[in-house]
């Protein structure tokens, strides 16, 4: 594998790394999480006022993939000089260190107890296309929101959760406000409901599997309200709030 020689190559790697981290297979997500948790040198890159961190050991190889990275027999030492040629000096920063620790916490990761070094990169313009679907304003940022959304789109899990809920309650309706899509929209609303992951990503470890009991059935409006701010309301708290207003 050759090392990166331009910002364009670095940006391509950053976008693919984010894709693996947020919506890759369980193995790909865990691989990326472990690189973030164990890394010593990071690119601290800012997009739309959001700061994210990516390990040099992955980013420093041109057109890198998880598979090629795992197969490569290298300790990654050649990546730091390559990135330095593109981005400039690698430095320690207490401010970036604290922001990195918060970033890990938001992702449910426990970083190694050591000092790290950083390059700073400001990516002007809009976010990567794959992140532009997130728009609920998670206080932790779009990466955490995207990871959460990916968990809620887990087709097999959502299907199982819906089936279990319907078996217990005979129909699908919002657990907070009782809205029934089929009752309001007829056949077009049949078997429709949104799945809310009640455990935030930051409260889970990288390898933790989601269970059916971690999923709540909610309508679109209640779902957005549950996500609106931290700490999240529980479904029961939202149900009580609705009852107070009716």
pLDDT over 70 at 166, yes or no: yes
pLDDT over 80 at 230, yes or no: no
Task: Please identify which residue in the block is written with the tokens 């029934």.
Answer: 180
The pLDDT assigned to 237 comes to 94
The percent of residues above 70 in pLDDT, for the chain, comes to 94
Task: Please identify which residue in the block is written with the tokens 């217990």.
Answer: 168
Mean pLDDT for 126-149 is 80
Q: Calculate helix-pair angle for 220-227, 235-245, nearest 10 degrees.
A: 110
pLDDT over 70 at 136, yes or no: no
73 or 183: which carries more pLDDT confidence? 183
Mean pLDDT of the chain: 89
The pLDDT assigned to 228 comes to 81
Mean pLDDT for 156-183 is 93
The pLDDT assigned to 205 comes to 65
pLDDT over 80 at 225, yes or no: yes
The pLDDT assigned to 71 comes to 84
Taking CA 97 as the corner, what is the angle to CA 92 and CA 98, rounded to the nearest 5 degrees? 150
239 or 129: which carries more pLDDT confidence? 239
Q: Give CA torsion, residues 203, 206, 211, 217, to 10 deg.
A: 60
Q: In DSSP terms, which residues pair with 217 in a beta bridge?
A: 195
CA distance linking residue 104 with residue 191, whole number of Å? 37
- Cβ within 8 Å of residue 224, ≥6 positions away: 136
The percent of residues above 90 in pLDDT, for the chain, comes to 61
Kind and range of the H or E element at 90?
none
pLDDT digits (tens, 9 = 90+) for 60-104: 999 999 988 888 766 678 999 999 999 999 999 999 999 999 999
Mean pLDDT for 99-118 is 92
The pLDDT assigned to 18 comes to 95
**Beta-strand relationship, 41-47 and 50-55:** antiparallel
Q: What's the whole-model pTM score?
A: 0.78
Structure tokens given for 87: 């981005």
238 Ramachandran zone, left/alpha/beta (phi>0; psi -120 to 50): alpha
Confidence of residue 135 (pLDDT cuts 50, 70, 90): low
The pLDDT assigned to 58 comes to 93
pLDDT digits (tens, 9 = 90+) for 6-50: 999 999 999 999 999 998 988 899 999 999 999 999 999 999 889
How far is C-alpha 68 from the chain's CA centre?
A: 23
pLDDT digits (tens, 9 = 90+) for 190-217: 999 999 988 877 677 666 677 888 899 9
Count of alpha carbons within 13 Å of 58, Cβ hemisphere only?
A: 29
């Amino acid at each position: 594998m050759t090392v990166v020689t331009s910002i364009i190559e670095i940006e391509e790697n950053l976008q693919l790394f984010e894709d693996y981290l947020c919506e890759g297979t369980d193995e790909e997500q865990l691989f990326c999480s472990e690189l973030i948790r164990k890394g010593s040198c990071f690119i601290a890159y800012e997009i739309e006022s959001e700061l994210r961190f990516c390990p040099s050991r992955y980013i420093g190889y041109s057109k890198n993939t998880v598979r090629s990275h795992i197969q490569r027999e290298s300790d990654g030492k050649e990546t730091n000089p390559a990135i330095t040629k593109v981005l400039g000096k690698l430095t320690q920063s207490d401010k970036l260190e604290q922001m990195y620790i918060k970033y890990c916490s938001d992702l449910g990761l426990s970083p190694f107890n050591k000092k790290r070094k950083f390059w700073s990169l400001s990516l002007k313009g809009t976010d990567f296309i794959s992140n532009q679907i997130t728009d609920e304003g998670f206080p932790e940022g779009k990466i955490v929101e995207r990871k959460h959304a990916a968990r809620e789109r887990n087709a097999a899990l959502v299907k199982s959760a819906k089936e279990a809920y319907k078996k217990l309650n005979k129909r699908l309706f919002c657990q907070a406000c009782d809205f029934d899509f089929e009752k309001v929209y007829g056949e077009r609303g049949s078997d429709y409901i949104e799945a809310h992951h009640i455990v935030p990503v930051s409260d889970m470890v990288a390898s933790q599997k989601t269970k059916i009991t971690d999923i709540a059935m909610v309508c679109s409006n209640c779902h957005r309200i549950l996500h609106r701010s931290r700490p999240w309301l529980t479904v029961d708290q939202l149900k009580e709030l609705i009852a107070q207003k009716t």
